[in-house]
Amino acid sequence: MTLKIVISGFGTVGQGVAEVLERKQDFIKRRFHRQVRIVAAFDSRSLAHDDGGLDPELLLERKSSSGMVGDPRPSDMCRFLRETEFDVLVEVSPTNIETGGDGLLFIREALNKGAHVITVNKGPLALHFRELNDLAKKKKVQLRFEGAVGGAMPIINLCKENFMGERILTIQGILNGTCNFILSRMDKGLPFGQALKEAQELGYAESDPSYDIDGIDSASKVAILANAVFDRDVTFSDVSVTGITAITEDAIALAGDQNMVIRLIGEVSPDKLEVAPRLIPKGHPLSLSGTLNMAQINTDLAGPITISGRGAGRIETASAIFSDLVAILEAERQ
């Protein structure tokens, strides 16, 4: 039996998904006695579609050589999704934190037709989590989003599955590697502007870095954690947000004199939603330097559990998507 997949957003992460599926076909066959086939993949301009399955290597080659995954796509992609037979939508199009963008429309379309959805697109989840989660339950399909918070860092499924039955008190974390890199470089004496420029030159920050340095990315992740882990009904706008643009060299130096560092920390609990720079003692897990994400989950039984991992990257984020796909396959064989 073949599991048919549509990849929405064949950019860096979408290409990583195709690569991982190609790598893991033997594992899927051994464990589930099934095949997984990509039947469609599309980006903002083009679409490749074959009900019999597309060759991941050819998809990657065409995208690399032409910048397009297939032929010019139809204007109405929601209609395409309605008329195409598939079991899982992997939605990895760029995040739109203002409206949810096309990703929100595609997720709704897939859930309404009774397909599972795996997404790392933070916009729809940070704005319409309750609606989408309720729709998935109504249609008796899964909405999974491990990679939406922390990329390869396993936080959503850890909280919802491994800590099932425990009461999670708070989650505090470094949820944006770009900000953490900038602050880490400032620890070494670089001014903010120079540290940001270095982050951009290394590919950690975009040419317009506001999504990261203003705390928007971290805040969207806090909203998702609040809804998924604490069963709250909040959106991005409910999060108190302070970015890192006002942090000065003097503030960094003063923190160092007190044997502390400044880190952008997201915190979520039953009654708190905040992203803000905080003083963290050197040696504390959240004093981490570099680009990794890190979170400390405080529970009533296990106490504080600290996890870290790469918050971005083609294969790293695809690994989180693949873990969600394996969970869907596990559930279907039970």
User: Which of the residues are catalytic?
Assistant: 221
Q: What is the per-residue burial (b if ≥16 Cβ within 10 Å, else e) of 276-286? A: bbbebeeeebb
CB-count exposure of residue 166 (10 Å: 0-12, 13-18, 19+) = middle
How far is Cα 315 from Cα 153, in angstroms, rounded to an integer? 13
Strand partners, 241: 275
> Which whole-number Å values give the CA distances from 241 to 128, 168, 258, 272, 305, in the listed order?
19, 22, 25, 12, 25
Residue 331 burial (C-beta neighbours within 10 Å; 0-12, 13-18, 19+): exposed
Exposure class string for 180-209: b at 16+ Cβ within 10 A, else e: bbbbbbbbeebebeebbbebeeeebbeeeb
DSSP state, 324? H
The encoded tokens of residue 282 equal 């050197």
Report how far residue 314's alpha carbon sits from residue 71's, in angstroms, rounded to the nearest whole number: 24
